[in-house]
Homo-oligomer: A and B are copies of this chain.
Amino acid sequence: MKMNAQPVRGTKDYLPQEVEIRDYIRSQIENVYQSFGFHKIATPIMEDIERLNKSDGGENLAMIFKLLKRGQKLDLSKENLAEDDLVDSGLRYDLTMPLSRYYANNSQFLNLPFKAIQIDKVFRAERPQKGRLREFFQCDIDIIGDNSIQAEMELIAATTSALNAIGFSDFTIRLNDRRILTDMILAAGFKNEDVAAVCIIFDKLDKIGLDGVRTELLERQYSTDIVEKFLDILSAAETDPLAAAEKFCTQSGVVTNLKYVLDFAQRISNGQFHVIYDKSLVRGMGYYTGMVFEIVSPKFGSSVAGGGRYDEMVGKFLGESVPAVGFSIGFERICSILLEEGFVPPRKEKIVLAYNDEDDFAEVIIKAQKLRAVGKIVTMLKRSKKFGKQLDALIANGATKMVNFSDDSQKNLG
């Protein structure tokens, strides 16, 4: 009987040429991060369900894949079974919660500031749609234990260098600081406990415009006076956003640092990218506490990288406050763009070693080994009925030369 061979809904198989592109992008990004002195770490995909449920994942918490308890721990005879009775672990939905746990679990072996690279799989039960998978890679760098603005600067330099290394330029970094935005919200008359909810609505500005933001804020029963004052503050900030930031921000140094980072990013850009202060940049995650950043480009459609400072999260596992800041590249989006563009990574020379059925295959392999020993990729190919079709496939895959086993004669391909 023939069995269904489709992968599980929301997941996909990757063909060799896709894996080749993905591996290239990954290694280019890793090389740049490593050249900055960041270190790769690895954490398990499986995580404790209580830790996942209590983490700062926002709407991702509703998308956790949960693993059934095993053996005697699974008691199906209990009445009124709830999900919590059935599961004790789940699959990680991001790499930030595992990083926080990792740091707490291994801090005695790690020196501060600790600079981590993670390019690894995460899982979310998203509604399947084009370009959105349930099993996908995230690509994060984080600096733990540095409360200075230098950590943000290093992340910006590393991330923009990584994007340049894979051939992306002409993008824009948008910078903001949660503390400025918060002070603008408070200055309008919102209460402290409203800030998070207002941020979530304000985060949609790009999609729904100022009028949409007004409508949604009023729907949430905030007073018309406060909502209009907030929109006035934003409108007034249009002409000179940094002056407005200075006017409303109550914490010293925040705007000075923001200006310094803006100036720094400009200086390292070499015309490869732009940098702006964007007063309306929120970055969804509730855990950000300071500067936030995002990289956008017309080519990408939406953002291709984002991050910020989250000083309250790592400490949850340690029981003490630990500063942290992270920047994440949209690995899947970049791979999709390059795949659609027909991008071909740099390749080693690929050789076809053609032989006949009567040749001693042991000697064919020995000859191939000699070519491999000097760095060539060698595919051995028997002259059979399918030879022409197989050779075409190898040429499509980058083979550039054919060597005849019997007489060592060579021929260029393609």
List residues of A whose CB falls within 8 A of some B CB.
1-8, 11-16, 18-20, 22-23, 32, 34-37, 39-48, 51, 54, 65-68, 70, 74, 76, 81-83, 86-87, 89, 91, 101-102, 104-106, 109-112, 121, 123, 125, 134-135, 150, 153-154, 157, 161, 260, 263-264, 267-268, 316-319, 350, 361-362, 365-366, 368-369, 372, 375-380, 382, 386, 389-390, 393-394, 397
Q: Known pairs A5-B105, A14-B41, A36-B378; list 10 more (Cβ under 8 Å).
A: A2-B318, A3-B51, A45-B135, A46-B123, A111-B389, A111-B393, A154-B365, A161-B369, A268-B362, A268-B365
The residues of B that contact A65 with a CB separation of less than 8 Å are 46, 67-68, 70
Cβ contact within 8 Å between B40 and A19: yes
Report which of B23, B37, B157, B361 forms a contact with A150, defined as CB distance below 8 A. Answer: B361
State the Cβ distance, A187 to closest chain B Cβ, in Å: 31
Query: Given the known A-B contacts A35-B372, A157-B365, are A121 and B76 also in contact in the complex, defined by CB atoms under 8 Å?
Result: no
A36 and B43 alpha carbons, distance in the complex (Å):
32
The reply to whether A369 and B2 form a contact with Cβ atoms under 8 Å apart is no
Q: How far is the CB of A138 from chain B (nearest CB, A)?
A: 15
* Closest beta carbon of chain B to A113's beta carbon, Å: 9
Query: A106 near B46 (CB under 8 angstroms)?
Result: no
> In the assembled complex, which residues on chain B have CB atoms less than 8 Å from the CB atom of A83?
68, 74, 76
| B15 in contact with A106 (CB, 8 Å) | yes
Partner of A34, one of B109, B153, B263, B377: B377
CA distance A267 to B366 in the complex (A): 9
A-B residue pairs in contact (CB < 8 Å), sample of 24: A3-B104, A5-B102, A5-B317, A6-B105, A7-B101, A8-B46, A8-B47, A12-B44, A13-B41, A15-B106, A16-B39, A19-B39, A22-B42, A35-B375, A35-B376, A35-B378, A37-B378, A45-B45, A67-B67, A70-B125, A150-B382, A153-B362, A154-B365, A268-B365
The majority secondary structure among interface residues of chain A is mixed
A8 in contact with B48 (CB, 8 Å): yes
B residues in contact with A36, CB < 8 Å: 368, 372, 377-379
Chain B residues within an 8 Å CB radius of A389: 111
Contacts A20-B40, A67-B65, A369-B268 given; indicate if A48 touches B361 (C-beta within 8 A). no
Closest Cβ of chain B to A156, distance in Å, is 9
- Give CA–CA (A365, B35) in the complex, Å: 12
A258 → chain B closest CB, angstroms: 14
Question: A121 — which chain B residues lie within 8 A by C-beta?
Answer: 45, 121
Residue of B nearest to A109 (CB): B15
Residues on B with beta carbons closer than 8 Å to the beta carbon of A35: 372, 375-378
Decide: A111 and B390 in contact? CB cutoff 8 A. Answer: yes
Given contacts A23-B40, A36-B378, A37-B379, contact A319 B267 (CB under 8 A): no
